[in-house]
Amino acid sequence: MAADAMFHHLSLGVADVERSARFYDAVLGVLGHTRVWSDIRPGETEQAIGYGPAGGGDLLALKQVARPAADIPGQHIAFGAATHERVAAFHAAALAHGGRDNGAPGWRPDYGDDYYAAFVVDPDGHRLEAVCKAIDRLAPQPAHVAAITTFDARHLDAALALWRDTPGVGLSDADRPEALAAFVRRNPGLSFVAFDGPALVGTILCGHDGRRGLIHHLTVAATARRRGLGRALLHAGLQALATEGIGKCHLLVFADNAEGQAFWRRMQAVERQELKLLSIATTAPAAPG
């Protein structure tokens, strides 16, 4: 850090440092920052954690206090984001880890023609922002940036329509609206959708059994591809699963879906050639004997 930098670091008071660690690990992780030190001693006072660039010192410290001073009008912290996709991932990660929406990802022309931002409130009431100023809103753009948010029952009809219209996506009885709604309820905050304006253009369904994660229906509409949206949805899902303590995920791809297989190879997914997938219905008859 430069000797004449305006700030050396900022410090916030929080009520539960372990809860805050889960939240900030996720939201700062998608922006490229990490927890650089940790002093967590469950049950003790004056616990704290610090965040900053990997291998560097802390720029943001969180300290557990009895009465955090939060939700103060006019006060917020803005984090820089390298891309619009990272702004969207920041917003999605916050909502998946106990934060509240305070402004969806999008252009903020009142702040400048290049100002793209999202706003959230952390579990203690601290107001946060992620902002990217890498692209001028008025300059010609190859495509709009989609907003990513958590999947809920309101999105079922549009998601099903997208899956039906997308080659390579297989649907079954498990994709009945009531079954999907039950899946999302059992795995809150782990699945995501992407919108381009009012249109739902991407999905990812994620869940886990406490041991391994499962990824279903990572789908991007044909009109919204080649923008990094599949990667952004996957990142949001993996971050959410990681905060649940899940270290590995499984997924299925049809053998004739060459485009899907190529995507997963780019994402460094590994084909398990030593294994064979077997399925059995819960109504299958018991074996004799």
Lowest mean pLDDT among 8-22, 57-71, 112-126: 57-71
Question: DSSP letters along 126-160, please?
Answer: -EEEEEE-SS-TTS--SSPPPEEEE--GGGHHHHH
How much is the pLDDT for 142?
45
Cβ atoms of 228 and 85 within 8 Å: the answer is: yes
Residue 200 pLDDT exceeds 50: yes
How much is the pLDDT for 284?
61
Distance CA 232, CA 136 (A): 21
What is the Rg, in whole angstroms, of the alpha carbon atoms belonging to the chain?
Answer: 21
How much is the pLDDT for 34?
93
Distance CA 174, CA 189 (A): 19
How much is the pLDDT for 92?
93
Residue 69 pLDDT exceeds 80: no
Residue 83 pLDDT exceeds 70: yes
Please report which confidence band the pLDDT of residue 143 belongs to, taking 50, 70 and 90 as the band edges.
very low
How much is the pLDDT for 21?
94
How much is the pLDDT for 106?
87
How much is the pLDDT for 4?
67
In tens, the pLDDT along 155-193 reads 999 999 999 999 999 999 999 999 999 999 999 999 999
Q: What single DSSP character describes residue 67?
A: S
Query: Sheet holding 77-80: strands in order across?
Result: 77-80, 127-132, 116-121, 100-107
- Region 210-226: mean pLDDT is 92
Distance CA 56, CA 9 (A): 12
Give 67 or 208, the one with higher predicted confidence: 208
Residue 204 pLDDT exceeds 90: yes
Give 138 or 221, the one with higher predicted confidence: 221
Residue 104 pLDDT exceeds 80: yes
Kindly give the residue spans of alpha helices, DSSP state H, lying in the chain.
17-29, 84-96, 156-164, 177-186, 229-243, 258-266
- Region 48-56: mean pLDDT is 89
Rounded to the nearest integer, the mean pLDDT of the chain is: 88
How much is the pLDDT for 19?
94
Please report which confidence band the pLDDT of residue 289 belongs to, taking 50, 70 and 90 as the band edges.
low
Residue 72 pLDDT exceeds 80: no
